[in-house]
């Protein structure tokens, strides 16, 4: 019976590592910016009167559902 072991060492380049970290940081910043934009939108809609919301086809209870409808399932 013969056993064989193969070791492979992944080569990690400094340039690739920096690019990967930069890409991850950029993704996080974009997510934060998108979330802040949605929160501002919710705050704006919350500041409207019930009549103004009705004219937009919204109820106060559905504001969060409307703003986040494309990103989470509520």
13 lies in a domain? no
pLDDT of residue 64: 92
Number of structural domains in the chain: 1
pLDDT tens for 7-58 read: 666 677 899 999 999 999 999 999 999 889 999 999 999 999 999 999 999 9
17 lies in a domain? no
Closest CA to 71 of 40, 43, 29, 31: 31
- Angle at CA of residue 42, ends 41 and 48, nearest 5°: 95
| CA-only gyration radius of the chain, Å | 24
Residue 74 has pLDDT above 60, yes or no: no
Query: When comparing pLDDT for 63 and 5, which is higher?
Result: 63
What token pair was written down for 29?
Answer: 């910043």
22 lies in a domain? no
- Cα distances from 1 to residues 5, 6, 7, in angstroms, run 13, 17, 20
26 lies in a domain? no
3 lies in a domain? no
Structural domain span for residue 41: 32-74
5 lies in a domain? no
39 lies in a domain? yes
């Amino acid at each position: 019976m013969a056993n064989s072991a193969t070791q492979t060492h992944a080569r990690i380049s400094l340039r690739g590592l920096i690019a990967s970290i930069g890409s991850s940081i950029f993704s996080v910043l974009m997510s934060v910016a998108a979330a802040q934009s949605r929160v501002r939108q919710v705050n704006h809609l919350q500041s409207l009167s019930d009549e103004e919301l009705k004219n937009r086809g919204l109820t106060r209870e559905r504001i969060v559902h409307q703003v986040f409808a494309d990103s989470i399932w509520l």
